[in-house]
Amino acid sequence: MYTLTLKKKEEIRLLEGHPWVYANEVYQISGYGEQGSIARVESFDHRFIGYGYINHASKIIVRLLTRDETPIDRDFFKNRIIQANERKIQLGYQDAYRVVFGESDFLPALIVDKYQDYLSVQFLSLGMEVRKQMIIEILIELFAPLGIYERSDVPVREKEGLAQQKGILYGAVPDEIIIQENGLQICIDIKEGQKTGYFLDQKENRDHLRHFVRGKKVLDCFSNIGGFSLCASKYQAKEVISLDSSIRAIETVNKNAALNGFSNIQAIPCDVFEQFRIYRKQKEMFDVIILDPPAFIKSKDKVKEGYRGYKDLNIQAMKCMNKNGYLITCSCSQHLTLPLFMQMIKESALEAGVEVKLVEFRTQARDHATLLALEESLYLKVAILQIC
């Protein structure tokens, strides 16, 4: 087993609950083992900190799994998955939810999402990759799924020295699955859809539209397959327009609208920024606008560029809002911190020439709980604003 001895005082953050050991925090490494194997972490004065799996190729050299002498074996992973799932069931989740949310469920770099009788999984680190077969066997034992599909087609794996990959790991997985969410039927595609197939982290935020949309003209930007649009229609919006650049996503919006018997949703394939310019030219205004764009900031060195993108988008939306309308603006970029997000909103309002009230602030769904010691796990920011 490897033993990592930290530099002086580098253990403070870890003792506060942060699960990552960075390579530049390590004073020395002794012992030996395979990459991805379990390593012991100790302070400069040799106090025990915890055990985690090691990867010399990553800037995060160790991801901690436990801070005591618990054996890290098959039962360890099985019990962690059981505990994670029980927490979600106690919160009322049943049909479609995040079973395991990585570090927040004390299984770093593992994502397990349940979609009806199927599981969609991500193995985001070497430590989890080398345990893939064991974890799949545990998931089969616990959930008896009809199929398990891997969606490890994400760039973060490359930082671990791993190739992106996707495909069926167990059973059979259809091209389309119909899940139940917020009393709606939603057709999703876990093979080609966003993330692991769908944006589960916005579930409660979508349903929260019931407070704002009745009898209103609603614009859903970056609609993906229509989660917000469907809830707006369910809660008796007068008119709903869904915008997305993906023709495939727009086709699925129409399919989901028909599946639920909604006829007031108009889905338009377009560039959202360009469409806002068209609306402004035509002086078309809305009562409720939802902005749920993809992450404009993928890394720390893209903060300034991404900040401008968010700001431009919010300015355009604010200029297309009726008085006393509601703007529901989101960011899933972890690098756009909460202070930066709020600053962006203030600057957008100033440049749009409107007064804005923050009615409510929300974050990701309860099955995506945040580990307070790990700021990165609080990534989704949702501000509900009233344009005065």
Structure token pair of residue 239: 């008119």
What's the CA gap between 357 and 327, in Å, rounded?
Answer: 10
What's the CA gap between 18 and 30, in Å, rounded?
Answer: 23
What's the CA gap between 100 and 82, in Å, rounded?
Answer: 9
- SS3 of 247, please? helix
270 part of the active site: no
Mark 274-302 as b/e (b = at least 16 C-beta within 10 Å). ebbeebeeeeebbbbbbbbbeebbeeeee
Report the sign of the C-alpha dihedral through residues 21, 26, 30, 34, in that order: positive
Spell out the alpha helix ranges (H) of the chain. Answer: 11-15, 74-90, 126-129, 132-143, 203-207, 227-234, 247-259, 272-282, 303-318, 338-352
The active-site residue, picked from 221, 231, 330, 332, is: 332
Residue 272 phi/psi, 5-degree rounding, is -60, -40
Contact criterion met (CB below 8 Å) for 190 and 145: no
Structure token pair of residue 270: 């377009």
Residues that are catalytic: 332
